[in-house]
Structure formats: structure tokens, C-alpha cells
Structure 1
Amino acid sequence: MARLLVRGFTISLDGYGAGPDQSLDNPLGIGGESLHQWLVGTRTFHSMVGKEGGETGIDDQLAAQSMAGVGAWILGRNMFSPIRGPWPDETWRGWWGENPPYHSPVYVLTHYKRPSLEMEGGTLFHFVTDGIHAALEQAQGAAGAQDIRLLGGASTIRQYLRCKLINELHLAVSPILLGRGEHLFEGIDLNALGYQCEKVTPSPKAVHYVLVRR
């Protein structure tokens, strides 16, 4: 069965996965973009956004690994859209433009129905209204022998953690303090849930931790 993985999810030193006051102008919240300095300069990220060049090294290796072997994705609604409540129409088509970097089925958790959305490059968004287990079941059917990447946000990851459904987490801890925002581990006892730190990899711009559920 396909594994459910969190890969390259970035948090601040004080544990926040996004800053406060997320909006269209600040999709990662105020200060949230500064979390991702380890990623945005890499060759892998440049390729994702259609740019040439980029840095190689540890961060790029881990960024590339985070994209490899993924057969399906699960996203919280905030990772797809800044819109809250019922969908006013189908105008909004995601943060990444017409050719998102997923290139496989993506299951978006939402309370409001919306038809599936086919994009360029093989990305197909499905909007799941009956909860995290239903999204995981559908993603497992689509992924086959490949892995499922749980992209976030923090509240979505917490839901899957509480149900002990995540097999492995790769967290990138950025050396900044946000002070407020969306805390990844609010109300979470990783030790009680059976997770342990298996690997630590420092880089010039972050420290990477791999947590595995026993």
C-alpha cells in the first residue's frame, strides 16, 4: 500500500508552518515566505517554476527527493486557494498557474463541492468533501505502488498525525522566529503517537529532520 509522507515541510524555530494573517497577498502569512529560503534558491525549485540554474548541494538533493516517487498528493484547502466558504465560481485554479508542479492526481480537502479540475502537465485536482480518510483512500487508489505526499498545511498534517496515518515526516527547520501563525505541533504529542527522529541533516539554510512512526 502507498505510504503517506510529509516531505520538505518547513517550520520556524518556534514551530510555525505559516505566519499569521494568510491572504491572497500573503499566502504563507506575514513573514511566512522567509521560511523557505532553503528551498527557493535550489535547482529543483527553479525547475518547478520554469527558471534556469539554481543552487545544488544538500538542500537541492532533499528538494529533489521530496518530488521523486510521488503518485498522488493531498492538500488542505488553504494550499489550493485563499477563498473561504462556498466556492463563488470556478475562476480560481490554484496558486501555480495552468501547469502546477504536481503532475499527478491531487486531492484537496474542502467542505464544499466542486467539479474536478484538469490542468496542464497531468495535474488533476479532485475536491474531497467527506474527510481525511476518504481523501487518503482515493489517493491510495491513484498512487498504486508510489507514495502519497501530504503537502499541508499545518492543520491538515495535524489531523493525519492524530490518526497515526503518516508514515514519515521530513521537516525542514528554518533558523527564523515567527512568533505567531499556524503551529505545526499544537496539541500534538509525537512521542505518544509513536514517532521518533531517524535522521538529522544540517545545511547552510536549515536543519532537516526525518521522523518515522514506529
Structure 2
Amino acid sequence: MSRFSRPKLTVGTVGRWALYGTLGSWYALTLCQQADKPHPWGVRIDPTSMAIPNWRFFAPTPARHDFNVLYRDKLPNGELTPWREKQINKDRTMLQMIWHPHRRMEKALFDVASELLSASEKVAEIERVQLTVSYLALLNFVTNQVDHHPDAVQVQFLIAQSAGHEESVEPRMLFLSDYHALGEKPAVDAEDGGDLCLSK
């Protein structure tokens, strides 16, 4: 027998090449799923994207702006305090790549603000907007989770859009609430991020 004769195919060899083919096809379909228009084969094989992942997340149109929630108090004589913003997070640090609990609060504010803006575009009557969960959540936040002027009797909040750390872009007001009465609330620790849960 020639030493250059063709080796016999074994079950192990066939299984190994079958595995290589399966993994190679999976990898190719995964790459196709990252395109703007996923390959029809990938959609047909895995319509739920459970087996063939899509890692684009926000792409191809990532979020380019931040939402800022500001508030001001109204005093008994009708005077208004300056607009203030509750600083949930300080400057970014390397540690936040591993441990960043305040990120949940930032994401919650972003989601609630987005939902409120969407509701305000669909509903013309402000009275109906004030009954939405997103409006009540933000009202609860600016009523109970921030510091107020000692003599404040009412609070008002607004949602502004900014370009994050891009200071050259002027913030833009997107939503302005009505004034709402303030009751006697305990002082809030300045380091406490609070929450967006509705009070019972």
C-alpha cells in the first residue's frame, strides 16, 4: 500500500468536520445578523434571534442625547426658585466599568422621560398626561427624592434634552409640567439617589 494512500474516514473524523461546518455556518450567520438588513436565512432559521445573536443593541442609530429632569419650587409669595437638577451620578470613573449601581437610576430616568414624551405627543389634554405612570413617577421623584426650599409650597418639573458631555450644544426644553402641591416631607440625603417608585 502506498504511503500516500487516502486515510479512512472514521466516525470521529466525520463528527469533527460536521462540528466545524456547524460552527462555521453559525459564525457566518452571526456576522450577517449584524448588518442593517439581516440575511433572510438567519431570519428564517432563527426568527427570535435566540440562537443567532444580534450585538448591535442601539446601532445603527444609537442614543445621541441625554434627558435631564429639572425642578423648581414656588414659594408662598409666588416667587420661583432657580431651576435645579438632581445629580444622580458624578464624573465617570474607571471603577464604574465594574461597579456602577447608579446606572440603574440613570436608565430609569431616561426610560420614564422617554415614555412621558411619547405620551405627551399622543395625548393633547395635559390632564390625561398627568394620569400616566411616567408623569406620576417623575412627580413622585421631584416631590419626595430631592431637596426643596424650606418654604416651598409647590413644585414644577421639566424635561430637557442635552448632548451629554458636548457643552457646545444648547439644551432644549421638551416638556413642562404643571405646579403641584408639596406636603411636609422628611429631608433627603444628598448622596441618596432615590428611586422612581410610586408612593402608596
Higher normalized helix content (fraction of residues): 2
TM-score by length of 1: 0.27
Decide which structure has the larger Cα Rg and report it.
2
- TM-score using structure 2 length: 0.28
Q: More strand by proportion, 1 or 2?
A: 1
